[in-house]
A and B are shown apart, each in its own frame.
Chain A
Amino acid sequence: MELFVFVIAAAMVLAGALGVVTRSNPVHAAMSLVLTLFGIAVMFVAHDAHFLAAVQVIVYAGAIVVLFLFVIMLLGVDRAEDLSVEPITNQRPLAAIIGVGISAIVIAAIVSSRAGLGASGQGVNETTLESPDANIRQLARVIFSDNVFAFEITSVLLLVAVIGTVVMARKTKSVGTGK
């Protein structure tokens, strides 16, 4: 069963990823990205990481790609691009080399550390009919007790990013630079 789910989810992820790269229309590419994100969410569910799956769909598919589409529609850049023209010369061979190189590194890392890939740390709680969210309780406990500092720092980082964007996107006319 797990293999079956993995094959379907992996096919979704790969088809979506190929679509992002090869579709000439930006909206189609964005929808392919959604397909990839859903495939990853399915894989999370298959590994009992239900919360991560939900967050994956809510944040990535539900907010980030929607904003991509929003910008594409608002700016009217939704014409099909001519993929045969290269704006930056030699970027395709370079991209191919880098892609192959990264895959080689990842595969080498997996092969070399296969012995140490056993499960470590605390396992997830089994979900039962009486308490279906035991697993999520465990995750929340870890985030809000042991790792609360990292969690807070991340939220401050996001806040800084938002404020920084607002400041940079503002027109600076009122500051009086005399332009």
Chain B
Amino acid sequence: MSGVIFAIDPMLEGNVLWTPLLIVLVKVLLVFVVGLVATMLMVWFERKVIAGMQNRVGPNKAGPWGILQTLADGIKLFFKEDLIPERSDRFMFRLAPYLALVPAFLAFAIIPLGGDFRDGKGGLVTLFGHQTRLQLADPPVGVLFALAISSIAVYGIMLAGWSSGSKYPLLGAVRASAQMVSYEAALGLSLGAVLLVSGTLSTAGIVNMQSSIGNWNIVATGFVPFVIFLIAATAELNRPPFDLVEAEQELVGGFNTEYSSIRFALFFLAEFMNTVTMSALIVTLFFGGPQPISIGNTTLDIPFIPNAIEGTIWLLLKVLVFLYIYVWFRATLPRFRYDQLMDLGWKILIPGSLGWFMLLAAQRVGRDAGWDQIVVTFVTALVLIGGYGLLLAAQHVSRVNREKDGASF
């Protein structure tokens, strides 16, 4: 069983054997390399797709279809001069890029990257006589780990902006911290709906529950939590249309204005890495992760490929869809104004996800107690409409009060 130990026992208190240790080391290396390569390709993909959407050619010189453009840019950045502003806080200025990069890599560790989830196998594969999962770690707190990581990712941006000792980066950092703290609540609450349906925190367990399209959490939680999660995740990533943190028309470049050379490259890397990780997390939570697409009992099976590797292919295809959607957002949607951003987060997403969570919980209780589902849904909906009416009334009263005070908004 010591092969099992490594997957669940981060302290390695069992008997240390060499094979499982090697498996873990190989996994760490693999996840690191996959993360880096995926990020590199994502940067190229984004530039190429957005160029297509804007009737341009995009990168086309380095390598076939310009696929090595990111590599070339990375090498160029390595050899550029590294500037540290005179008024900066030197220690924090140097530390900040790593505080942004490390969480981006850590979050990738809990994504199931493959494995055979069919026929109740639960994603376990046997490597060299040891049962293991095709994911770096399956910690007991599972998805909460991703939340914890995304909540500390804000430090990199905040400290980068503050330590630069200059106006625009500081404004970017203050915006970033307010935005990320606000949207984390909506992110966590919409996640709650998934956890309620799945009944487990472990990412492998959540994937295991979603065997066919009818069981995918996007259907099982009723679509609304997915929409809220997607919006909140976009805001959490500071991607357009929520990229107020680095709004180049207002803030020069945002929190990374003073950064140059490889330190800038690290921020860039972390940002795209986070996009890839968040897409993978959305697929894991709502779209069955590495599970093949299947309706009822018919499964789309890719022939001649072992099921465990097929999982990786399915994951890749599903993640690509979301990466494309993120690029699409960027090409299509104009940036939010700051008050619109806060209104959307606090007045729509958070009450919406709380209300939907209550509806799902009421239906569960009703099913256990044997009540009529339609009545339960109806009564809960009434309560929610009443609550929303109260919220609107409260907002109206406070707006009237503000206008009486002479505020202009």
- Residue positions of A touching B, CB distance < 8 A: 1-2, 5, 25, 27-28, 31, 34, 45-46, 50-51, 53-55, 57-58, 61-63, 66-67, 69-70, 73-74, 78, 127-136, 171, 173-174
B181–A66 CB distance below 8 A: yes
B124: chain A residues within 8 A (beta carbon): 129
Bound Cα distance from A131 to B202, whole angstroms: 8
Bound Cα distance from A27 to B138, whole angstroms: 34
B139: chain A residues within 8 A (beta carbon): 50, 132
State the Cβ distance, A62 to closest chain B Cβ, in Å: 3
A31: chain B residues within 8 A (beta carbon): 92, 155, 159
State the Cβ distance, A35 to closest chain B Cβ, in Å: 11
Among B4, B141, B159, B204, contact of A54 (Cβ-Cβ < 8 Å) = B141
Within 8 A of A (CB), among B353-409: 401, 404-405
Among the stretches B54-62, B171-179, B216-224, B268-276, the one at the interface with A is: B171-179
State the Cβ distance, A143 to closest chain B Cβ, in Å: 14
Residue in chain A with minimal CB distance to B4 = A129
* Interface residue count on the B side (C-beta < 8 Å): 48
A171: chain B residues within 8 A (beta carbon): 405
A136–B140 CB distance below 8 A: yes
Given the known interface contacts A28-B92, A132-B139, the answer about A127 and B162 at a Cβ–Cβ threshold of 8 Å is no
A27–B151 CB distance below 8 A: no
A69–B158 CB distance below 8 A: yes
Interface contacts (Cβ under 8 Å), in number, total 118
B89–A69 CB distance below 8 A: no
Q: Any chain A CB within 8 A of the CB of B339?
A: no
Among B91, B92, B141, B184, contact of A50 (Cβ-Cβ < 8 Å) = B141
B202: chain A residues within 8 A (beta carbon): 132-133
B174–A46 CB distance below 8 A: no
Given the known interface contacts A1-B12, A57-B151, A74-B174, the answer about A62 and B4 at a Cβ–Cβ threshold of 8 Å is no
B405–A173 CB distance below 8 A: yes
Residue in chain B with minimal CB distance to A80 = B89
Among the stretches B63-71, B142-150, B226-234, the one at the interface with A is: B142-150
B200–A54 CB distance below 8 A: no
The 9 A-B pairs with the shortest beta carbon distances in the complex, nearest first, are: A62-B151, A57-B148, A54-B144, A54-B141, A50-B140, A129-B4, A133-B201, A50-B141, A132-B140
Residue in chain B with minimal CB distance to A166 = B398
A63–B142 CB distance below 8 A: no
A128–B4 CB distance below 8 A: yes
A129–B158 CB distance below 8 A: no
Bound Cα distance from A46 to B148, whole angstroms: 18
A-B contact pairs, 14 of them (CB 8 A): A1-B11, A2-B13, A5-B11, A27-B162, A31-B92, A62-B154, A69-B162, A70-B177, A70-B181, A73-B177, A128-B4, A130-B122, A133-B200, A171-B405
Interface centre among B8, B10, B142, B158 (most CB of A within 10 A): B8
State the Cβ distance, B142 to closest chain A Cβ, in Å: 6
State the Cβ distance, A8 to closest chain B Cβ, in Å: 12
State the Cβ distance, B160 to closest chain A Cβ, in Å: 12
Q: Any chain A CB within 8 A of the CB of B7?
A: yes
Residue in chain B with minimal CB distance to A134 = B140
A173: chain B residues within 8 A (beta carbon): 405
Contacts A66-B151, A66-B177, A69-B159 aside, 7 further interface pairs with beta carbons under 8 A come to A2-B11, A70-B158, A70-B178, A129-B131, A132-B142, A135-B140, A174-B405
Q: Any chain A CB within 8 A of the CB of B170?
A: yes
Q: Any chain A CB within 8 A of the CB of B205?
A: yes
State the Cβ distance, B59 to closest chain A Cβ, in Å: 36
State the Cβ distance, A61 to closest chain B Cβ, in Å: 6
